[in-house]
């Protein structure tokens, strides 16, 4: 019984510190930054995809001509 009581008494501070460590963090600046980068990064992705499609199409046509 004493062992369980010791474990219970050791567990209480762990719960108190765990709840204190979950304080709210202001992430509005981070969300705004990610939202601002979304459009340019999608344009870069579309450009890379376009280059890949162009290369594959060129190789496909070249293989058909041979």
Classify each residue of 3-23 as buried b or exposed e, where b means 16 or more C-beta atoms within 10 Å of its C-beta. Answer: eeeeeeeeeeeeeeeeeeeee
The three state secondary structure string of 1-66 is: CHHHHHHHHHHHHHHHHHHHCCCCCCCHHHHHHHHHHHHHHHHHHHHHHHHHHHHHHHHHHHHHHC
> Greater confidence, 11 or 53?
53
The ranges assigned to domains in the chain are 27-65
Residue 59 has a pLDDT of 96
Query: Is 14 a residue whose pLDDT tops 70?
Result: no
Put simply, whether the predicted model's pTM sits higher than 0.75 gets the answer no
């Amino acid at each position: 019984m004493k062992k369980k009581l010791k474990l219970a008494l050791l567990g209480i501070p762990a719960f108190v510190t765990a709840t204190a460590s979950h304080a709210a963090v202001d992430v509005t600046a981070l969300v705004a930054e990610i939202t601002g980068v979304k459009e340019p990064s999608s344009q870069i992705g579309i450009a890379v995809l376009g280059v890949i499609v162009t290369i594959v199409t060129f190789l496909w046509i070249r293989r058909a001509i041979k």
